[in-house]
Structure 1
Amino acid sequence: MPKPSKARARESKREKRLRAANDKILGAFELQNPPFRPTTGMKTPVAPLNDAQREYDAAIRTADVIFGVGPAGTGKTWFAAMRAAEALDRGDIRKIILTRPAVEAGESLGFLPGELDEKYEPYIRPVRDAFEEYFGTGRLEYLLKNGNIEPRPLAYIRGSTIKNAWLLADEMQNATEGQLKMLLSRIGENAKFILNGDPRQSDLPRGKSGLEIVRSKLAHVPGVVSVQFFREDIVRSGICQAIVEALEGA
């Protein structure tokens, strides 16, 4: 059996509790499921590239609420978008909702030109790029116009009941505990929420991010799984991993 990496060996007690809860929930899951082949766009089935992505994949397939937490470049957003696209392609759900906090360094939606859809577009661009890779440009435009894929600002989730849909929430290190509570309480029948973020990249004032607080509180709630990614799990490129390690301290 291979030795655990240095990063995993340094897991905190909280992270070990989260992983133990994951193991209990995912223990019966069979990873060797037949891959789904998309009808348009991508022709190669999406497959995990490392152990972290395999754990993430198992969580997405089995849980109702999934937290993907860790550094940039680990494939959290891309992989979640691909699995959501498959679910929509199969007809398992009617809609995919994309959201994220409208928090950036020094600017907000109000400083961007255009109507709400145009203002919000830069915030969901990474997910849109993944969908374009899966569906192709033409079908993606149809799905967006038809409302099957809907970008929605986090504030506009309030009062909704999300059902027969997957909700992909990105950059959630920039959400407060109150915002996360509001978001997660919107989940309805046949819905799956995937929340991704990197606590080290929060643009909120220190102590205001609710991501770590909320996922810790929900660690033992049935149907909720939290997957921790580490620097070693970066798949974007070798230089990306080297940059993250240098900036965060290897």
Structure 2
Amino acid sequence: MSKDPIKIPAVFETIDETISVVGHHDKHLKIFEDYYNVEISLRGDQLYLFGDEKKAEIIRQVLLALVELHRKGKEITERDVLYAIKMNEQHRLGELESLFDERYKIIKTIQGKTIYAKTFNQKEYYRKIQDNDLVFGIGPAGTGKTYLAVVIGVALLKKNIVRKIILTRPVVEAGENLGFLPGDLKEKVDPYLRPLYDALYDVLGLEQTEKMIERGIIEIAPLAYMRGRTLEDAYIILDEAQNTTKQQMKMFLTRLGFNSKMVVTGDETQIDLPKPVKSGLKHAKEILSDVKGIEFVQFETVDVVRHTLVQKIIESYEKTGE
């Protein structure tokens, strides 16, 4: 590492570009510092780096790509910076502009903020859910697979494409039976389905979500309660599907009725089933990948748009195979 600062060749042409790309209080530069283990100093519109020259050139290329996005009218966010860094690592930085050329607007939050598909795999996920009746979204935490599945379902409900939303997951932490837990069904299940509620609250708000649950337009229940039903005119999400058995997965998938869509989400690295029970998600992937009308989207660590530390934690666990 160089003790003297390395002058990064000119990146910015205007103050507006500088502010947009480095972020207020240089918050975007802090992402580069954390990710590449360097120090970056901004003096006027000139950047200096304490680190090796190779990293300086890598960072410059990412910054130039972000400048081009800004010039096309894109408001640069922390997520954009992190995704650009990851795209560069995959030698796909040149594709970044195309991600924003055709943006998929899914729905607005209760605060009026538009939710977009933010990565290439998220765009593929969105397209496949629109075009198919059964889609699997598989990958690590933080890729947006569950959140997007929920908000896409709300968007379809608002457009009257489906008449109800059903959200379910296996509750292996409570033995799936739930019979020994105190309280009514809602009290028993809610702690395990909190991520699904959070997504609903984002786009519907607490009051409207609760009203829709009371009217049966939104149903949230453990997987065991799907048995024996045929689900028509519905949008059904099975979350945490890695914790289903083969029998449970078959039971769930065969609930699909006319004019319905199913989305199955899960992370194959987070299986909580007792050994030697095989995950229903893994089994379904093996036997259904070639079935026409069923689509799989494999999310990757590049799609993780959380704090940079989350990315590093996930990668560290992947290296150990755990």
TM-score band w.r.t. shorter chain: 0.7 to 0.9
Q: Secondary structure at the match of 2:165?
A: strand
Q: 1:140 aligns with which of 190, 209, 227?
A: 209
* C-alpha distance 3-93 of structure 1, shift in aligned 2 (>3 A): same
CA distance in 1, matches of 2:307, 2:246: 33
- Selected match of 2:284 from 191, 214, 217: 214
Within a 5 Å distance, the mapping from 1:191-210 to structure 2 comes to 191-206=260-275, 207-210=277-280
Which of 219, 228, 234 pairs up with 2:298? 228
How many angstroms does 1:230 deviate by? 1.2
Q: Is the 8 A contact 2:176 2:222 kept in 1?
A: no
Q: Which has the higher contact order (CA 8 A, sep 6+)?
A: 1
Report if the CA contact (8 A) 1:105-1:203 is conserved: no
Contact 1:66 1:225 in 2 (8 A): yes
Counterpart selection for 1:95 from 155, 158, 164: 164
Q: Where does structure 1 lack aligned partners over 5 or more consecutive residues?
A: 7-30
Q: Which residue of 1 aligns with 2:229?
A: 160
Tell me which residue corresponds to 1:239: 309
Task: State yes or no: 1:86 paired with 2:140.
Answer: no
Tell me how far 1:81 sits from its aligned partner: 0.7
Whether 2:209 is the aligned partner of 1:124: answer no
Q: CA deviation at 1:57?
A: 1.0
Match of 1:5 in 2: 90
Superposition TM-score, scaled by structure 2 size: 0.64
Q: Matched residues in 2 for 1:111 and 1:78: separation?
A: 30
Cα shift at 1:32: 4.4
Match of 1:41 among 83, 106, 110: 110
Q: Secondary structure at the match of 2:272?
A: coil
Question: 1:37 and 1:121, CA in 2 relative to 1: closer, same or farther beyond 3 A?
Answer: closer
> Structure 2 CA distance, aligned partners of 1:153 and 1:160?
14
1:51 corresponds to 2:110: no
Deviations 1:121-161 (A, max 9, x none): 11211011100000111111111111111012211111100
How far does residue 229 in structure 1 lie from its aligned partner after superposition? 0.9
Corresponding residue number in structure 1 for 2:251: 182
1:112–1:119: 8 Å Cα contact kept in structure 2? Answer: yes
Structure 1 residues 211 and 34, CA gap change in structure 2 (3 angstroms): closer
CA displacement, residues 162-201 of structure 1 (integer Å, 9 cap, x when unaligned): 0101011100000011111111011011111100001110
TM-score of the aligned structures, taking structure 1 as reference length: 0.82
Tell which deviates more after alignment, 231-240 or 58-67.
231-240
Distance verdict in 2 for CA 1:229–1:35, change over 3 Å: closer
Please give the alpha-carbon distance, in whole angstroms, between the structure 2 residues aligned to 1:224 and 1:126. 25
Distance 1:3 1:73, change over 3 A: closer
Counterpart-to-counterpart distance in 2, 1:4 and 1:220: 31
Asked which structure has the greater CA Rg, the reply is 2
- Please, what is the CA RMSD of the aligned residues? 2.4
Q: Is the 8 A contact 1:50 1:233 kept in 2?
A: yes
Match of 2:146 in 1: 77
Q: In 2, are the aligned partners of 1:68 and 1:227 still within 8 Å (CA)?
A: yes
In 2, Cα distance between the equivalents of 1:128 and 1:196? 16
8 A Cα contact 1:175 1:211, kept in partner: yes
* Structure 2: gaps of 5 or more residues: 1-86, 92-100
Considering fraction of residues, name the structure with more strand.
2
Quote the sequence identity (%).
42
Do the aligned partners of residues 115 and 37 (structure 1) sit closer, same or farther apart at CA in structure 2, a change above 3 Å counting? closer
Which residue of 1 is the match for residue 182 of structure 2? Answer: 113
Query: In structure 2, how many angstroms separate the alpha carbons of the residues matched to 1:145 and 1:98?
Result: 14
Alignment: residue pair count: 224
